[in-house]
A and B are shown apart, each in its own frame.
Chain A
Amino acid sequence: MRIELQKRAQPSPLFSFVSPLLALVLTLFFGGIMFWMLGKQPVDALYSFFVEPLLEVWSLHELAVKAAPLILIGVGLSICYRSNNWNIGAEGQFTIGAITGSILPVLYPEWHSLMILPLMLVMGMIGGALYAGIPALLKTRFNTNEILTSLMLVYIAQLYLDWLVRGPWRDPQGYNFPQTKSFVPEAVLPEILDSGRAHLAIVFALVAAVALWFMMRFMLKGFEVTVLGQSERAGRFAGFSAKRMVWFSMLLSGALAGLAGISEVSGSIGHVQPTISPGYGFTAIIVAFLGRLNPLGIIASGFVLALTYLGGEAAQLSIGISEKVSRVFQGLLLFFVLSCDTLIHYRIKIVTQKLRGGAAHHA
């Protein structure tokens, strides 16, 4: 007996829908096994990891805070990946966006104006876009691999941030802590409701997701993205330029990552410090794939992945396991999402009987 993958004539619409759910179930199942091997009650551990964070209002706010950057970055990345441009460096674009967006409140702390916040957001987007423009330039001019260049730029951005907050941007009255002055109130992204910390970033994320969904679904630009992603040659035949698409997708995803970065610093942290992200830019890659590279799907998957962050924190507090467990869950989830996607294009067939007269002769 053996297992065979048989190509389907058409991609299965059923499994396009079921595959991410199946991946979730498998992730929970194997996560349960992991807890059991750590000596914890699997059901209790899963409960405190995935359910408890959803039971209180303040933690729902936290969920929105964490989902916002994941969705913002994830929808930008989905456009990149659909067009076959593999931007892996959103974490770096997030960091640079946070830095450029913070120039005004850090360097001009006395400036009080309603203009400051919009300017910060725009500068954050520009910073993120320009930083993503580096791999775009290298790819279009020198044919370098954007996976490597964008990834390497992440570490440059993080070290640059580290140097800034320990050096020129350090708050002189900050007891030598490596962080900047706190932002003035006008430079802080306002909260949506009084009941918790969720701020405007989640609104930006939802607007971006819906706008990009509209583009991909109805506009010629979305068609161009898909065509060039499937076949550059066919895109050229349609009169689309693959090089311009490299620029478009990289700048767009860089701008959204930059917006996520400045929103995080302005809305959640309130100053700049050496570490501003628990790896949102990398986790957003999982978000994009779990959401089937569909902006609306990414809204849902953004909340799911945000839950793994919250669950990690909760599990550390309530059952005393390392919050690094959330990374394990993210890895499991990506693994199962990608493998379950096989079922969309293939069906599993278990071959049991041999062929008639199947005595094999070996020479």
Chain B
Amino acid sequence: MTVSEGPAVSPLLSVRGLTKYFGNFAACSGIDLDIAPGEIHALLGENGAGKSTLVKMLFGILEPSGGEILSSGQAVVIRSPSEARSFGIGMVFQHFSLFEALTVGENIALSLDPKFSLPRISDEAARLSHKYGLPLDPKAHVADLSVGERQRIEIVRALLQNPKLIILDEPTSVLTPQEADRLFETLLKLKTEGRSVLYISHRLEEVRRICDRATVLRHGKVTGRCDPRQETPASLARMMVGADVAGVSRSTGSVLGDVLIEVANLSVPARTPFAVSLRAIDMQVRAGEVLAIAGVAGNGQGELFDVLSGEYTVPENDAIRIRGKAVGTVGINARRMLGAGFVPEERHGHAAVSEMSLSDNLLLARSQPDRRSFLSGGLLSIVRHGSVRSAAKRICDDMDVRKSGDDPSAGSLSGGNLQKFIVGRELDRQPAVLVVNQPTWGVDAGAASRIRQALVDLARSGSAVVVISQDLDEIFEVATNVSVISEGRLSPSFAAHELSLEQIGLMMGGIHDSTHSEASHAH
């Protein structure tokens, strides 16, 4: 973890003692950072380490509370993203800001000076996208594009400003391995042109593969600087979390029991123009089994979760069975009463209400299955706040949920801690069937490992677990069987140990049953 104190050439962008307070909380404190021309610089850290706050200050979205930013050696104040662009900084956000109903060209034009005509912008965007190996059709509608293609729009949009530094926030979290490879080629090309890249990630393998230097943040402070190519993933992880991350222990060869959740030939038309239709889904999960459903975002994962949970019912009652009972037409609470538990992907506003306390959020999922302990007064349904609160406390203790105060609002917890609570809320009932969508999305390494272990343990104790995930590392950590979802179709399941990363990657790209070519984006 010892490297030379900064590069010999004068840095493109430097940060000295940069600090940001939110109230009394220091999201970033005294950060020093140098980015040299023509380097790919990794910014590593767990969720909540201060990475996003730091880059928002660099891009003029947040104002620093202290410290300074130097562009080519001169102190500058960056007040807005447009000022950041004038200093040669471009940014590609983790969450895209694109209008789905508009075309690629129109979306790019919206972010540029209105004096350029749309055809000119489209031509320039097409030229740039081919030059950097990110083929894009400017006339395609964004709604029709895959997430990877949407990301290309954002990258091309940034490149059109001819930036000296491009900031990428978790760019590969939404890509297939093949798409990620392609992105890396683009980044290396940018590097050979002398542009710099600030690459934010918590995927250590990637950082080791493409980055020249890395700065590690923890709790808003720089805890390490290194050459990632000389580190191991384990040593990088140690810098990020400050302790060794526990690996998930998975028993192999356990005997599988009865089928606990079953889907038979289920087709569901898309609810909205931007949703995915489910096509002839077949799925069986037995007691003791963890079925992981791999796939790139937007291939029907959310829609599959909705019909499994019963948030949206289907007309054929027999199409879905939980513990042998047909449940296609019954709602989520009837399915919970049969012993099923559900963890949606989105924490805020779906799995939990951010403004409500943890105990209220416990009641959210369990008012009906735990009627007897949580409600009284017959038809009046009076909430027994005392017992709800003590159950919430039990869950927090079991799952090691770190929080401030006794019963804080869900929104005040970090992503990892809230996710532990949301998973713990279901585990607390010992569900016979658990369906989880993206269990560790945006969750720090420590919480992720705890959640994965809990899923494995639940299956081992005789439950059937369905894990919908885009994270292949996670899938191989927890799954006994793997299916792949692509364009609303679910592949047959394979034993996890018979599959390689490459095979899954190819199936995720949709190559298993169609000749869909990844470069053809004009549907």
Q: Are B383 and A237 in contact (CB under 8 A)?
A: no
B382 contacts A219, C-beta separation under 8 Å? yes
Chain B residue nearest to A361 in the complex (CB): B76
Binding site for B on A (CB under 8 A): 6-10, 218-221, 223, 226-227, 230-231, 233-234, 236-239, 347, 354-363
- The residues in B between 307 and 341 inclusive whose CB is less than 8 angstroms from any CB of A are 309, 311, 331-333, 336
List, in ascending order, chain A residues with CB within 8 A of B309's CB.
Answer: 237
Partner of A233, one of B83, B350, B360, B365: B350
Residue of A nearest to B64 (CB): A355
CA distance A231 to B352 in the complex (A): 9
* Known contacts A231-B350, A363-B87; A10/B409 CB under 8 A: yes
Interface flag for B75 (CB, 8 Å): yes
What residues on A are CB-neighbors of B381 within 8 Å? 219-221
Within the complex, the shortest CB–CB distance from B169 to chain A, in Å, comes to: 21
B247 within 8 A of A: no
Across-interface contacts of A358 in B (CB, < 8 A) = 68, 75, 77
B265 at the interface (CB under 8 A from A): no
Distance A358 CA – B65 CA, assembled complex (angstroms): 12
Q: What's the nearest-Cβ distance from chain B to residue A226, in Å?
A: 7
Closest 10 CB pairs of A and B: A239-B333, A357-B75, A220-B381, A363-B86, A231-B349, A360-B77, A357-B68, A233-B350, A238-B364, A230-B353
B311 touches A236 (CB 8 A): yes
Q: Taking chain B's interface residues, is the majority helix, strand, or loop, or is none over half, making it mixed? A: mixed
Q: A220-B381, A355-B68 are in contact. Are A237 and B351 (CB under 8 A)?
A: yes
Pick the contact of A362: B86, B333, B351, B368 (CB < 8 A): B86
Q: Is the CB of B68 within 8 A of A9?
A: no
Q: Give every chain A residue within 8 A of B409 (Cβ-Cβ).
A: 10
A237 in contact with B75 (CB, 8 Å): no
Q: Which residue of B is nearest A226, CB measured?
A: B356
Q: Max chain B CB contacts within 10 Å: which of A8, A233, A347?
A: A233
Contact with A along B460-491 (1 / 0, CB 8 A): 00000000000000000000000000000000
- Interface residue tally of chain B, by bracket? 35 or more
Distance from A244 Cβ to chain B, minimum over Cβ atoms (Å): 12
List 24 A-B residue pairs with CB atoms under 8 Å apart, sorted by A's residue number. A8-B23, A9-B23, A218-B382, A219-B381, A219-B382, A220-B367, A223-B363, A226-B356, A227-B356, A231-B349, A231-B353, A233-B346, A234-B349, A237-B365, A238-B332, A239-B331, A354-B77, A355-B63, A355-B64, A355-B66, A358-B75, A360-B79, A363-B86, A363-B87
Taking a contact as CB atoms under 8 Å apart, the answer to whether A230 and B355 are in contact is yes
Q: How far in angstroms is the closest Cβ of chain A from B375?
A: 6
**In the complex, which residue of chain A has the Cβ closest to the Cβ of B334?**
A239
Given A223-B363, A223-B383, A227-B356, residue A355 in contact with residue B77 (CB < 8 A): yes
Is B67 in contact with chain A by the CB < 8 A criterion?
Answer: yes
Give chain A residues whose Cβ lies under 8 Å from the Cβ of B23: 6, 8-9, 347
List of B residues within 8 angstroms of A8 by Cβ: 23
Q: Indicate if the CB atoms of B350 and A237 lie closer than 8 Å.
A: yes
Report A-chain residues with C-beta under 8 Å of the C-beta of B346: 233
A residues in contact with B331, CB < 8 Å: 239
Which residues of chain A come closer than 8 Å to B349, judged between CB atoms? 230-231, 233-234
Residue B430, interface by CB 8 Å: no
Is B364 a contact partner of A227 (Cβ separation < 8 A)?
yes
Complex CA–CA separation, A347 to B24 (angstroms): 12
Please, how many angstroms separate the alpha-carbon atoms of A7 and B21 in the complex? Answer: 11
Q: How far is the CA of A356 from the CA of B70 in the complex (A)?
A: 12
Which B residues, 1 to 42, have Cβ-Cβ distances below 8 Å to chain A?
22-23, 25
B186 at interface, CB cutoff 8 A: no
B482 to chain A, nearest CB (A): 26
Contact A223 B68 (CB under 8 A): no
**Chain B residues in 8 Å Cβ range of A218:** 382-383
Q: A230-B355, A238-B367 are known contacts. Are A219 and B68 too (CB-CB below 8 A)? A: no
With contacts A9-B412, A237-B365 taken as known, whether A356 is within 8 angstroms of B68 at the C-beta atoms is yes
With both chains docked as a complex, state the minimum distance between the C-beta of A357 and any C-beta of chain B, in angstroms: 4
Interface positions of B from 52 to 68, Cβ below 8 Å from A: 63-64, 66-68
B220 is an interface residue with CB less than 8 A from chain A: no
B residues less than 8 Å from A220 (CB atoms): 363, 367, 375, 381-383
B288 interface residue per 8 A CB criterion = no
In the assembled complex, B519 has its CB within 8 A of some CB on chain A: no
* A357 proximity list for chain B (CB < 8 A): 68, 75
Q: Which interface residue of A221, A238, A239, A360 has the most chain B CB atoms within 10 A?
A: A239
CB-defined interface of B373-391 with A at 8 Å, one 1/0 digit per residue? Answer: 0010100111100000000
B344 contacts partner chain A, Cβ-Cβ < 8 Å: yes
Residues of A within 8 A of B22 (CB): 6-7, 9
User: Within 8 Å CB of A356, what residues of B?
Assistant: 66-68
Complex Cα–Cα for A356 and B65 (A): 10
Min CB distance A84 to B, Å, is 12
Q: Is the CB of A234 within 8 A of B353?
A: yes
Task: Report how far A124 CA is from B382 CA in the complex, Å.
Answer: 30
Complex contacts, A233 vs chain B, CB 8 Å: 346, 349-350
A42 to chain B, nearest CB (A): 39
| B74 interface residue (CB < 8 Å to A) | yes
Residue B199, interface by CB 8 Å: no
Q: Check if B342 is an interface residue, CB within 8 A of chain A.
A: yes
Smallest beta-carbon distance B438→chain A, Å: 15
- Which one of A9, A221, A238, A361 contacts B365 once the chains associate, using CB atoms below 8 Å? A238
Using A8-B23, A234-B349, A358-B68 as known contacts, list a sample of 12 further A-B pairs with CB atoms less than 8 Å apart, ordered by residue number in A. A10-B408, A220-B381, A223-B360, A227-B356, A230-B353, A231-B350, A234-B353, A354-B77, A355-B66, A357-B75, A358-B75, A360-B77
Highest count of chain B CB atoms <10 Å: which of A223, A234, A357, A362: A234
Q: Across the interface, do A360 and B412 meet the contact criterion of CB distance under 8 Å?
A: no
Nearest-neighbor residue (CB-CB) of A232 within chain B: B349
Contact in complex: A227, B77 (CB < 8 Å): no
In the complex, how many angstroms separate the beta carbon of A138 from the nearest chain B beta carbon?
21
Q: How far, in whole Å, are A354 and B63 apart by their CA atoms in the complex?
A: 11
